Amino acid sequence: MEFVDIHGHYAWGIDDGIRDLEEAKAALKNASNIGVKVIAATPHVISGTHFEKEIQHFRERISELKREANKLGIEVHEGSELFLNHDAPSAIRNGFFIPYEHTKYALCEFDVRRNLPDDEDEVEEYLYALKSHGYTPVVAHVERYFKDKIDIDRVSEWVDMGYIIQVNASSLVGTHGSHVLKNAEALIENNLAMLIASDTHRIEGRRSPSTLNDAYKVVCKKYGEETAHILIHDNPLHILHNEPIERTQVKVGFFKKLFGR
């Protein structure tokens, strides 16, 4: 199986991800060993904190990463993970973020440390700011924003708006606990999950490239190989090629729907 990792902090020394060049080389090697052929480098960009100078630095570091990855036969695309806060509309308007290279898709996130606000001005308006400037939001690790039961109706509305839903591989293998695992499963079972990515921050362990392979095995077992392939290969590649994504066709049994887990 060949993997396409759409979300990872491989570009070293610029956020809380990979710390230096040697770690970057090791992370790339580990990614190569499990079959990762394409990576999107998506460093954190904080609205209101990172401006033109920082964005240029991030692009330069990603260029260095590309050269290292090329030695292992891995293709790297530039991107960023834009933190959506009250400064986001200005950051988007001024281009202080990096969309996926040569595409109109842009990875974004909210604060995973707190429950997703009910206030549309703090969530939906920020997503719409991206859309209104011609970008399709790719919402990172959606399963982690709901500290109570995941709001499937709200996520469905995002999908109806054309937004893309990404799930972390680590969530599917239980790294963030049973609640986040159930949220991730609910997204897949409701055919709302569109991408699975590693969100790599470390060389090995629970936030490393290897979680992609672990999640692939889990999704194959629970939902079938076709679903796993769409989420971890086909759709990530569609994003990087600026193409429409495919929707999964997971079918959940009547009693599971009725009684849950």
Encode pLDDT of 93-107 as tens digits. 999 999 999 999 999
Q: Mean per-residue pLDDT for 23-40? A: 98
Angle, vertex CA 235, rays to CA 229 and CA 237, nearest 5: 100
Q: Mean per-residue pLDDT for 15-31? A: 98
The pLDDT value recorded for residue 252 is: 82
**Total length of the chain:** 261
The mean pLDDT of the chain is 96
Half-sphere exposure of 83 (CA within 13 A, CB side): 16
Please, what are the domains in the chain? 3-259 (3.20.20.140)
Phi-psi region of 54 (alpha: psi -120 to 50; beta: other; left: phi over 0): alpha
Q: Mean per-residue pLDDT for 170-192? A: 97
The pLDDT value recorded for residue 260 is: 53
Residue type, 190: N
Distance CA 51, CA 155 (A): 30
Structure confidence by residue, pLDDT tens digits, 222-258 = 999 999 999 999 999 999 999 999 999 999 864 455 4
Structure confidence by residue, pLDDT tens digits, 44-81 = 999 999 999 999 999 999 999 999 999 999 999 999 99
Report pTM: 0.96
Residues 6+ apart with CB under 8 A from 98: 45, 55, 58, 59, 62, 78, 79, 80
